[in-house]
Amino acid sequence: MEGIRDIEVVVFDVLGTLVDESSGLRAAIRDALPGSDDASDASDASVDELLALWQRHVEREQRRVGQGDRPYVNSGVIDGEAAQRVADRAGLAESATIARLATAGRRLPPWSDSAAGLERLARHFPVVALSNAGRTDLLRLSAHAGLRWHQALSAEAVSAYKPAPEVYQLAVDTAGCPPERVLMVAAHSWDLRGARASGMRTAYVHRPFGDPPTSTDAFDLRFGGLDELVTAVTAR
């Protein structure tokens, strides 16, 4: 495909791009609630409300770190806080249940095309994971989801969260080539904007819970799924 013939390394976002973060967290919250076998609409609404509470906390606290309003803490700490907020709202008191909920981010399911797509791509390119997940969470998540790459990079290494430029620079430095020869793949436009600002090439992959491009986003490539991307970038 014209315009990507000079790509040397492919970097992937993980949360939401390679694993279904929303469905995984929703399932963990449902399992933690008393009477979790109840499949009523009311139960679904409660779980969705608690999931939104979790996601708002994580987004807010990562943003506060990025703005300098809070010292850096890794994703495990923030997830623990989110789990406690969910527990408080839902009336959960059992410590073991809350502790397991806090590590839900380590047990997220992969999208159906993720494992095979990474395997195919890795035959042609060095493949790197670049995630806001902390080192330990990223290690456990990759093992649980069956995802394999040549190297996994946690934003914890630079005490920041994407879209901070130092996180993308970590990937570029690891790739060992100019940023324009590194392709960043994500289902989140905000992530790709950060990568593009750092000089990286960008590829959007559609996921049901992603952040689609706007009319003003000038990403290099856009795909409906990972299979499409792998086919395109390996047909050179």
Q: Quick one: 72 exposed, middle or buried, by C-beta within 10 A (0-12, 13-18, 19+)? A: middle
Grade residue 2 by pLDDT with cuts at 50, 70 and 90: low
CATH of 9-20+108-234, one of 3.40.50.1000, 2.40.160.10, 3.60.20.10, 3.30.43.10: 3.40.50.1000
CA pair distance 59, 49, nearest whole angstrom: 15
Q: Which residues contact 34 (CB under 8 A, 6 or more apart)?
A: 92
> Percentage of the chain surpassing pLDDT 70?
95
* Residue 209 or 103, more confident: 103
Q: Write the DSSP string, 170-233.
A: HHHHHHTS-GGGEEEEESBHHHHHHHHHTT-EEEEE--TTSB---TT---SEEESSHHHHHHHH
Asked whether the predicted pLDDT for residue 35 surpasses 80, the reply is no
Q: What per-residue confidence (pLDDT) applies to 39?
A: 54
Q: What per-residue confidence (pLDDT) applies to 3?
A: 55
Average pLDDT over residues 128-144: 97
Residues 189-215 pLDDT 10s? 999 999 999 999 999 999 998 899 999
Average pLDDT over residues 58-79: 98
Sheet of 221-223, strands arranged across: 151-154, 127-131, 9-12, 182-186, 201-205, 221-223
* Residue 150 or 235, more confident: 150
- pTM score, two decimals? 0.94
Asked whether the predicted pLDDT for residue 95 surpasses 50, the reply is yes
Dmax (CA) of the chain: 57
Q: What per-residue confidence (pLDDT) applies to 36?
A: 57
Q: Name the amino acid, one letter, at 30.
A: R
Length of the chain: 236
CA pair distance 191, 163, nearest whole angstrom: 6
Cis omega (within 30 of 0) for bond into 163: yes
What are the residue ranges of CATH 3.40.50.1000 in the chain? 9-20+108-234
Task: Determine which of 35-44, 80-89, 225-234 has the lowest per-residue pLDDT on average.
Answer: 35-44
How does the average pLDDT of the chain come out, rounded? 94
| Residues 124/138, Cβ–Cβ less than 8 Å | no
CA pair distance 161, 74, nearest whole angstrom: 9
Q: What per-residue confidence (pLDDT) applies to 37?
A: 58
